[in-house]
Amino acid sequence: MPALAVGVLVLALAVGMAPWLAVLSGAALAGAVFAAVYHAEVVAHRVGEPLGTLVLALAVTAIETALILSMMIAGGQDMAALPRDAIYAAVMIICNGVIGLCLLVGGIAHREQSFRVEGAGVGFAALMVMATLALVLPVFTTSTPRGTYSSAQLAFVAVTVATLWAIFVFMQTVRHRDYFIPSMGAANPEIHATPPTNAQAWVSFGLLLLSLVCVVGLAKLLSPNIEHAVEAVNAPRAVVGIIIAALVLLPETWAAVRAARANRLQSSMNLAVGSALASVGLTVPAVVLASIAFGLPLVLGLGPKDMAMLILTFLVTPVTLGTGRTYMMQGAVHLVLFAAYLFLAVVP
């Protein structure tokens, strides 16, 4: 499937996005998503938790960041708010859409599920600080026009969010790795099939990266078609960023929902928290460096509506996830928030 997706991507780059090729590209995009999830699970099975979920989160975030940077450099002034829209969309999709769907599916299938709140709780605390520094405070600073940071402020935010992300990864993979492994009351982590060999894991890792490149490449090629459809219904331009972010996050979403359905909610939470933190902790420093190096305009501050939705998400999440035990009602709460976010993005 990754090879077929590469073929479609090369064909689309060579001949242009004709209507029939757009349909074929959509099918190839879906196939690349499923391939990415499969190969990520092979790698995760080999290296174990929580490193396995970290692989997919880092791969998707790195490629998403590269896509944002390429569009920023090509678009100039018109793309000043793209990083803000992409980061905000990623946080809302993960914190409300992905987590809500996992909790709902897991609750329907297994009634109640559990995860280690020691790891997820501090991860969400770090996400609140990082998102506030990157997306909320630019609205209230006075050194530069509303919604922007000065160069010194940008550098400070880039260093702080990157530091928080690095500390979290160290805690997740080294110092407190046990906080991200299912507790004894959850699904038994020892019940697994025979792990793949090192060679199989490396092959899957390469095919995972190839699949993710295809996902981002095909999503970028399909974006003009999506933009035309958005314009046809008179929706705001930010909706395009939401659709692209959703396409790029499909591998993580599908992997997280499959884990919750298999009663492995800890894996779902590891993936969600890690992906959200990486979306801020890696993307913000990258776009700040690009903005300073190339003199690109950068608008990070959210509008009042989006700020209210972000704050509401951060108020609700500690209540729904604070005990480490979940059932379908908590998932429904997050999905309603996600539906409100999508609806108000289309009808502001």
Residues 6+ apart with CB under 8 A from 31: 1, 4, 5
Query: CA triplet 34, 36, 37: central angle to 5 degrees?
Result: 65
pLDDT over threshold 50, residue 7:
yes
Does a structural domain hold residue 85?
yes
Estimate the crossing angle of helix 51-75 against helix 198-232, to 10 degrees: 40
Does a structural domain hold residue 41?
no
Q: Which domain holds residue 124?
A: 51-185+223-346
Q: How remote is the C-alpha of 273 from its chain's centroid? A: 9
For residue 63, count other CB atoms closer than 10 A to its CB.
Answer: 18
What is the Cα–Cα distance from 206 to 212, expressed in whole angstroms?
Answer: 10
Does a structural domain hold residue 84?
yes
Q: pLDDT band for 189, please (50, 70, 90 cuts).
A: very low
CB-CB contact of 248 with 62 (8 Å): no
The residue count of the chain comes to: 348
What is the Cα–Cα distance from 74 to 295, expressed in whole angstroms?
Answer: 13
Does a structural domain hold residue 159?
yes
Q: pLDDT band for 155, please (50, 70, 90 cuts).
A: very high
3-class SS at 113? strand
Does a structural domain hold residue 72?
yes
Does a structural domain hold residue 215?
no
pLDDT tens-place string over residues 220-241: 787 777 767 777 777 777 777 7
Total of domains in the chain: 1
Instruction: Express as a percent the part of the chain with pLDDT over 90.
Output: 27
CATH of the domain at 94: 1.20.1420.30
Does pTM surpass 0.85? no
Does a structural domain hold residue 207?
no
pLDDT tens-place string over residues 79-92: 788 888 889 999 99
